[in-house]
Amino acid sequence: MTPSCPQQTCSDFHCKTFVVRDGRFYRQSEARFIQRFRCQSCGKRFSHATGTLDLHQKKRRVNPRLRELLCSGVSMRRCARLLKIHRTTVERKLVYLARKAELSQQAFLASLKGQVRELQFDDLITSEHSKLKPLTVSLAVDADRRWILGVEVESLAAFGTRAELSRKKYGRRPTRHLEGLRRLFTNIMPTIAAGALVESDEHKNYPPIVAQFLPGRTHQSYPGGRGAIVGQGELKKLRYDPLFTLNHTCAMLRANINRLIRRTWCTTKKAEMLQRHLMIYVDFHNQVYLK
C-alpha cells in the first residue's frame, strides 16, 4: 500500500496523488530491503516508518514479545536477558510501547462513548523505591465487561508507623490523590452512560469526585472486606463481593505487573515509569486478554 505524503507544507499533504515508488534502502536491523517513496509534488522521500512511533528504531522485531512479557509478570531486567537486548533498550522501549498503548486506549474509550452502565473504581497502594514513599493507583473498570477504563498514578504521604521516619528521611511528601482521581474521571467521563451505576468502597475522597464528574448517577459505596491471601489482598474473604470485577482486576495487575507484586524486590524507581507500565498492561488487557 502506498503511504501518503508526510510533508506538512506540501500541497499534496496526506494525499498520495503524486507519490511514486523510489527505490529501496537496506535496513540493517531487520536484514532486509525497505521500499522508499517520493512525492513528485514536493520532492520529499520517505518510507512506511516516516511519521510513526517506531521511526529510527533498531530491534523492532522484539517489540511484540517485549509487550507480552511486560504484561506477564516478567521484570524489566529479565526481559532484557530473555530477549538478548540491553536493559536500557528495554527502558526506552517501555516508553515507546506506553505511547502506543495510550493512543490505542484513547481510540478504545472513544468507541465506548456513553456505553458503560456499571462503573467500579478504587485505589491500589504501592510505592516508589521504598515503602516510605507510597504511591496510589486509581483504577476504573467496566463491571459488566471487565474492561479497564483508566489508571492514574499519584504520590501519597507516608502513613501509619512509617510516617515519621519518612518525613525525617525524605521530607514532606504531598498527597496528590485527588489530582489523580480528577485526571481519571476527566478521561473516562464520556464513556459513562446517563443512568449508570457507580460503585466503590467508602473512601472519603470518592463522593465529591463522583458528584463533580458524574452528576445524576447513583453512587453506591460498600464497606471494605478483609483481604484474602490469594490475589495478594484484593480478593476478599467475603461470600459475595459486590466489587468483585474491580478487585479481580486489581489482583490481575498485581500478578502480571512485576513491580506491583507485594514483597517483591522489584520496585518502581520512578512514578512515571509505573504509569507507563500500567498503560501497556491496560491496553493489553482490553485488546488481547479479553478478546
Binding site for Zn ion (CB under 5 A): 5, 7, 10, 12, 39, 41-42
Nearer Cβ to Zn ion (14/92)? 14
- Minimum Å distance from CB 5 to Zn ion? 3
User: What is the rounded distance in angstroms from the CA atom of residue 258 to the CA atom of residue 69?
Assistant: 10
Nearer Cβ to Zn ion (6/180)? 6
Nearer Cβ to Zn ion (45/60)? 45
User: What is the rounded distance in angstroms from the CA atom of residue 138 to the CA atom of residue 187?
Assistant: 12
Nearer Cβ to Zn ion (39/109)? 39
- Minimum Å distance from CB 38 to Zn ion? 9
- Minimum Å distance from CB 52 to Zn ion? 17
> Who's near 8: CB < 8 A, 6+ residues apart?
none
- Minimum Å distance from CB 249 to Zn ion? 46
Give the 3-state secondary structure of residue 127.
strand
Provide φ and ψ at 183, rounded to 5°.
Answer: -60, -45
| Nine cell digits for residue 174 | 504531598
Nearer Cβ to Zn ion (40/264)? 40
Provide φ and ψ at 214, rounded to 5°.
Answer: -125, 60
Instruction: Report CA torsion sign: 202, 181, 70, 115.
Output: positive
- Minimum Å distance from CB 47 to Zn ion? 14
> Who's near 64: CB < 8 A, 6+ residues apart?
none
